Amino acid sequence: MEVEMKIRGLMMDPVTNMPIVILKDAGSDTVLPIWVGIYEANAIAL
């Protein structure tokens, strides 16, 4: 099953100090946080 997701935001985890990409389901209010590395977060932010 595939679910279309959109990037909702990019934030920092205050505990681990790692970036988190927040994905949101295009058809509902469901969100999916994904912890990524610094380089990946910078590439997404561009």
Half-sphere exposure of 9 (CA within 13 A, CB side): 5
Determine the pLDDT at residue 44: 86
Instruction: Give residue-wise pLDDT tens across range 1-46.
Output: 888 999 999 999 999 999 999 999 988 999 999 999 999 998 988 8
Domain boundaries, the chain: 5-45
Determine the pLDDT at residue 25: 95
Determine the pLDDT at residue 38: 93
CA-atom Rg of the chain in angstroms = 11
Provide the whole-model pTM.
0.79
27 DSSP assignment = T
Helices (H), the chain: 38-45
Are 33 and 11 contacting, i.e. CB atoms less than 8 angstroms apart? no
Q: Give just the sign of the alpha carbon dihedral 27, 1, 42, 16.
A: positive
